[in-house]
Amino acid sequence: MRGSSAGRSATGRPACARVSGRRVVVTRAAQPESFVGEKVDKQRTIKLFSPSKINLFLRVMRRREDGYHDLASLFHVIDLGDHMEFTPSPYALKDTLECSDRSIPSDESNLVIKALNLYRRKTLQSMYFHVKLVKRVPHGAGLGGGSGNAATTLYAANKLLGGIASNEELLEWAGEIGSDISVFFSNGAAYCTGRGEVVEDVAPPVPLDTPMLLVKPPVGLATPRIFKSLDLDRRSSADPRGLLADIAAAKGVDQAAAVNDLEQPAFDNLPELAALKKRLIESGSFRSVFMTGSGSTIVCFGSDKAPEFLGEPLYQNLFVSPARLITRKPNGWYEHSGQWAEPQ
């Protein structure tokens, strides 16, 4: 699992939400400055919502000879996301990326640029693009914000260049630059295996209007570090297909089904994350509480109301955001919900 994102606005303030007493206050990221440079075809600009994801469960099945791990996980796309704007640059000799978070590199190490290079290589097209990105998904969160950006970029390039590639081709290509990019080419709910790039569409296992709260400490976690710290002898023995069936039957995620084999190495690296999860469970406010991906976001399932203790001084710097599950629009892409409306 690879890919990263960031959650600060151009002003340096968190771009999403904070706890104020008992309220979760959602703030909006500042828009980037106007782009001045290569000519762009503004008449063909498209704007897209770039979603993130959660893992309702995550099993690590084995370590592979290539150093990666085989996973089995139930992914679901959620409505916390970034906003992206794509404009063809017919006279440009390279892609340009303008991001509201100036700490994010805009060179070829960025998944957005990697996705554009991949698309040109696969389709033999020569068009370059200017991309504007307003970040709201925090970095090092286990939410796949960067992966969502890459998937949205592949979709946008394909749409702007006439739909050269099929959805199946985009899904397959995405696995070449990241392990959990492909899931965004599902319908929004998917059982994923391999490194995460083998995607099996499933019907949404729980109602889409199920409320949840995302809680992340200021410190993020790097995916390679967590996998390096993983002790395979401390994994769950739960059958992933059984977990999938249990969640579908219960129409929700009970605590027993909220298995994530990466929690233990994450907690070893960030003990305060384990303490935060414990307090969230003890609050009695949620049906289940679990970490998503390689962390450090904790998903609180069944309510989007912040427990009172999150107003304490110790927790003032947490990223806190309500969220909902979403699915992909037929023959289209994902759309934001009202709380993540496009910046004006």
Which residues have a Cβ under 8 Å from the Cβ of 206 and sit 6 or more positions away? Answer: 56, 247, 251, 252, 253, 325
Number of domains in the chain: 1
5, part of any domain: no
Expressed as residue numbers, the domain containing 282 is 17-340
* The pLDDT of residue 337: 73
Q: Which of 22-31, 39-48, 51-60, 63-72 has the lowest mean pLDDT?
A: 22-31
How sure is the predictor about 125, in pLDDT bands with cuts at 50, 70 and 90?
A: very high
Average pLDDT over residues 234-255: 98
Residue type, 77: V
DSSP 101: -
77 within 8 A of 204, measured Cβ to Cβ = no
- Tell me how crowded residue 5 is: count the other CB atoms within 10 A of its CB: 27
Q: Which residue has the higher pLDDT, 11 or 344?
A: 344
Encode 302-321: b = buried (16+ Cβ within 10 Å), e = exposed. Answer: bbbbbbeebeeeebeebbbb
268, part of any domain: yes
Give me the CATH number covering residue 258: 3.30.230.10
Q: Measured between alpha carbons, how far is 221 from 321 in angstroms, rounded to an integer?
A: 18
Q: Measured between alpha carbons, how far is 326 from 330 in angstroms, rounded to an integer?
A: 12
Strands (E), 90-134: 96-99, 128-134
Residue for token pair 């959660």: 54
3, part of any domain: no
10, part of any domain: no
